[in-house]
Each structure stands twice: as structure tokens, then as C-alpha cells.
Amino acid sequence: MYPATVTGDRLCLRELTSEDLPVLTRLYGDPRVTRYLRFDALDAEAAAAKYEERRRTAFDAPRTRFEMAVTTPDDPAMVGTLGMTLEPPHHLSGWLNELVLVPEVWSRGYGSEALRLMIGLGFERLGLHRIWGLRRHDHPVTHGTITEAGMSQEGRMRDWVRTGGRWHDVVTYSVLRHEWDARRPSVTSARR
């Protein structure tokens, strides 16, 4: 499925474009932003390589990764990014990863809305059965962001990620299709 676009009340998810590279470089190079990610801050060359790798996956057949730009409906400029990787077997489970927003939009509820839009894409358009995600155990805000998006906490994986020269635990969350359907009517109006 290319291009994928999902529109909500305050946000849109769209495919990455070359115009997003400066924002991605800024995000991936900012230690405040990468502090809780699976990698340390990147220089411009490493950020560009990560962008190219992610952009290429949009054209894989079958497509197993969705790396989307987060925008507002009235402005196509990227304010963040969010990924989802479809997992074998049969690609009926999706892993949400690397929700990253520019600091200027922190504390506006954009994280929960972006997650809801991606979850809606996974269930309503891709036919997934289970969607899961994780957060670093010491991130002060993301528990509320993730649960507000409709996911339930599952457990803790010890020493799952190494950044900043240290190992960190992560907390896992998931939502199943029947739970999503019971809690929410369709929350996305998708354009193909």
C-alpha cells in the first residue's frame, strides 16, 4: 500500500518525503529527543542514512514497514514521525516504534493522537490482529500517552536496549483488534 495517508481531527500521517529530511536530522540529532529512543543522537550523515533506509521500505513488496510523517491538516510540514513494523508470521501483528515529535509540539496530546491514527491504519486498513509497542521504563510521560491511545500495559523486558552506554528496561503495551473495535468507532478517515 503506497502511498498511505491517515487523517484525524488534529493530525495527519503521511509518507515521508525528501522535504522531511531537515526535520528528521534535527530530531535525530537532538539528545533531548533521542534520550528515550533505541539509539543515541545521530549526526547529519547517520540521520540521512536512516531516512533513506526507512524511505526505501515504503516500496517493499509486500510492505512490512510504515514510517510516517506526523503533520497537521493545515500544514504539510512534518512535526514528528512514527513507525510500525509488520511482524511474521503472516504479518498480522504490528510493532509501533519511534514516536518522535519536535519539542515545539510536546504536551499537546499529539503523541496519543498519532498512535491512535497508526493503530487505526493497522486494524482498519491492514487487517492486523494485534498491535504492540514499548517505552523505556524511565520515560516520565509515555505511559499516559500510550494508554490514552487505547493500549494496555503487558509487562517489562529487562535490559532490552542499550543507549548512552547503559542498558535500559522497557515496558510493553498492546491492543487487540476486538478491544479496539469495542472501545472506538472508526477514528480514521483514510485517503488512498
Dihedral sign, Cα of residue 87, residue 55, residue 63, residue 129: positive
Q: What is the dihedral of CA 144, 150, 152, 157, to 10 degrees?
A: -70
pLDDT at 73: 92
- Residue 86: give its domain's CATH number: 3.40.630.30
pLDDT tens across the length of the chain (192 residues): 778 999 999 999 999 999 999 999 998 988 888 888 878 888 999 888 888 888 888 888 888 999 999 999 999 999 999 999 998 877 799 999 989 999 999 999 999 999 999 999 999 999 999 999 999 999 878 999 999 999 999 999 999 999 889 999 999 999 999 999 998 654 444 433
Q: How far is CA 116 from the centre of its chain?
A: 10
The 3-class SS string of 96-162 reads EEEEEECHHHCCCCHHHHHHHHHHHHHHHHCCCCEEEEEEECCCCCHHHHHHHCCCEEEEEEEEEEE
pLDDT at 176: 97
pLDDT at 188: 45
pTM of the model: 0.89
Number of domains within the chain: 1
The range of the structural domain enclosing residue 40 comes to 5-191
Q: Using an 8 Å Cβ cutoff, are 70 and 101 in contact?
A: yes
